Amino acid sequence: MSSPQKENGYTPIANELLEAMYKTNFTATEFKTILLIMRYTFGFSRKEHQVSLTFISKGIGISKRYVSSAVGKLINDNILLVVKEHTDTQGRIVKLNKDYDKWENRDSVQQMNHSSTVEAEINTTDELQFNTTDELQFTQDKQNIKQNKNNGACNSFFEQIWQLYPNKKGKAQVNTKSKKELQRLGIDVVKTCIDRYVVDKPDWKQFQNGSTFFNGGYIDYIDESFTEQASPLEDERSEPKRQQLTKQQLEALSQL
């Protein structure tokens, strides 16, 4: 169970500065960035500190791409002050501008009066501004990365089974839904379906296009729906028996 205690370390922040922060329309990424910088400056009794974009990104769990954008805006708006620019070997040294009157391009939330309307005023557009497009885009990017990874694995699997099929026509027509279902079945099942189809196909017939087979033709050769037919050899062996039986029947009929 968490039990934070002040004696284990704390970050001293002037109430006036804290109020200025939560009244300013920072984005979520900007606000988290400021908190991290305060932690590593005021939290260590220093005014400035060397922080790289990678360090901030890992610290607040936001993509470096959006951290870079947020830091750039904070610097441009005179909220973060650059003490020393970054080099090839060292990160940028920055500090928070405590003179919030000099913050630029920022709107402040109006001071709320303690009245019966306070509760209603809480649900303002400023609350909506906190969930910015940057945050939403970051979440979407994570989802896209995951989706792209899944699609990559699916396409890689399809390339494997495509090489096993004899008629390589219509590759582009195999839809994503079919590819995912084939991947779910696994390489062994799909290979068995291909082998069964190759053996089962009459010699005079052409192989189905790859697109036809992989878009659903393989289903007839899955264990649940496949019934092995008699081989040509068995048909040849059974034919003489049928002919012999017919002759016996004819001889019996001639003796009547």
pLDDT at 48: 95
Say if 4 falls within a structural domain: no
> So what's the pLDDT on residue 246?
55
Residue 112 in any domain: the answer is no
What pLDDT score does 28 carry?
A: 92
State the pLDDT at residue 117. 47
> From CA 189, how far away is CA 195, in angstroms rounded?
10
The pLDDT value recorded for residue 240 is 46
76 and 22 within one domain: yes
pLDDT tens sequence for the chain (256 residues):
788 988 888 999 999 999 999 999 999 999 999 999 999 999 999 999 999 999 999 999 999 999 999 999 999 999 999 999 988 888 899 999 999 999 998 887 655 444 444 444 444 444 444 445 555 665 666 666 667 777 888 899 999 999 999 999 999 999 999 999 999 999 999 999 999 999 988 989 999 999 999 999 999 999 877 765 544 444 444 444 444 445 555 565 556 5
* Residue-level pLDDT at 242: 44
Same domain, 99 and 179: no
CB atoms within 10 A of CB 214: 26
Write out the DSSP string of 52-106.
-HHHHHHHHT--HHHHHHHHHHHHHTTSEEEEE---SSSPEEEEE---GGG--S-
**Three-class SS state of 13:** coil
14 plus 94 within the same structural domain: yes
In a domain, 254, yes or no: no
Q: Which domain holds residue 20?
A: 10-103+126-131
For residues 97 and 36, state if they share a domain. Answer: yes
User: What is the distance between the alpha carbons of residues 136 and 145, in angstroms, rounded to a whole number?
Assistant: 14
Given this model, what pLDDT does residue 235 score? Answer: 47
CATH number, domain containing residue 53: 1.10.10.10
Q: How many domains does the chain have?
A: 2
Predicted TM-score of the model (pTM): 0.46
Residue 113 located in a structural domain = no
Residue 213 shares a structural domain with residue 145: yes
Burial 119-155 (b: 16+ CB within 10 A, else e): eeeeeeebeeeeebebbeebeeeeeeeeeeeeeeebe
Residue 246 inside a domain? The answer is no
Q: What integer pLDDT is reported at residue 245 of this predicted model?
A: 45
